[in-house]
Chains A and B, each alone.
Chain A
């Protein structure tokens, strides 16, 4: 079991590191970096599923019998695009937040909001 699944476990650990950064850090840029790590780890997870022992890249060529599963690759291509779209939007928001609040720390922003109320 250790041999069969260790790959997934490492990915899970990576995922959780990303997830932890997202929810525990107050700095918005760090949150975004965490989000990227989280998502990238999910991509790794998908790609590991696709691997077949003795398989090779799913581009047809003569004399090759076994290919890895192309479907997760396709899904992850789409997911990567979604990821960069989210990152770009999040960064744009961060820039605007910095302009509006003068800070990109969660605590400062919440303080300022409470004062305004």
Chain B
């Protein structure tokens, strides 16, 4: 069951990455990163149990925290990011 859950998390991580790459708006990307971070926390927790050494959950806590801080950071600076776009670039999206 643990393995199954791990696989499911991995699948949703992949989906989140795809959204992060397609993006289309800045907020989509932030969302993808946020979701990716949450999934990472779960993945770490699951991996700990699957490998039989569940005492390393500290890492998962750090992930959760870091994830939050990153999102807040991006939002904090997103105002000036939107502002800072040079005019010659009309569509920064799509690689």
B-binding residues in A (CB < 8 A):
56-57, 59, 61
* Interface of chain B, main secondary structure: loop
> When the two chains form their complex, are residues A56 and B52 in contact, meaning their CB atoms are under 8 A apart?
yes
Using a CB–CB cutoff of 8 Å, the interface residues on chain B facing chain A are 51-53, 55-56
Q: How far is the CA of A61 from the CA of B56 in the complex (A)?
A: 13
- Bound form: Cα–Cα A62–B11 in Å: 35
Please measure, in the bound complex, the distance between the C-alpha atom of A47 and the C-alpha atom of B55, giving whole angstroms.
Answer: 20
What is the distance, in angstroms, from A108's C-beta to the closest C-beta of chain B? 13
7 cross-chain CB contacts under 8 A: A56-B51, A56-B52, A56-B53, A57-B53, A57-B56, A59-B55, A61-B53
How far is B51's CA from A61's CA once the two chains are assembled, in angstroms?
A: 14
Measured CA separation A59–B55 after assembly (Å) = 10
Complex CA distance for A57 and B54, rounded to whole angstroms:
11
B27 to chain A, nearest CB (A): 21
* B15 CB to nearest A CB, Å: 21
A91 to chain B, nearest CB (A): 14
**Which B residues are CB-close (under 8 A) to A56?**
51-53
Residue with the greatest number of chain A CB neighbours at <10 A, chosen from B51, B52, B53? B53
CA distance A61 to B53 in the complex (A): 10
- Which chain B residue shows the least CB distance to A56? B53
How many Å lie between the Cα of A57 and that of B56 in the bound state?
Answer: 9
